[in-house]
Structure 1
Amino acid sequence: MSKNLSFIPPRLKPWQALTALMVVGVIVLSSGADKSSIQTNLFSIQPAIAQRITPGDVWQQVYQQLPNLPRENKYISKENGKVAENNTLVNRLIKYHIYTKGRAPIYRLDWKLTLADYLGANEIIYDTSYPGNDSLRENPLEGDRKAISRLTRSQRDALVQVLVNIFNPTSQNTLSPNSNTTANPSTSTTPQPPQRGGAELLK
Structure 2
Amino acid sequence: MTKPLDATHADPFAGAPTFSLANRVERFAFGIVWLLCARWTPPQARRWRNWLLRRFGAKLALSANVYPSARIWLPRNLTMQAFSSLGPGVICYSMAPIKIGRHVVISQRAHLCCGTHAIRDPHFQLRAFPITIGDDAWIAAEAFVGPGITVAEGAVLAARGAAFSDLEEWTVYRGNPAQILKPRARFQRARQ
TM-score when normalising by structure 2 = 0.26
Q: Which has the higher contact order (CA 8 A, sep 6+)?
A: 1
Whichever of the two has the greater Rg, that structure is 1
Which structure has greater helix proportion?
1
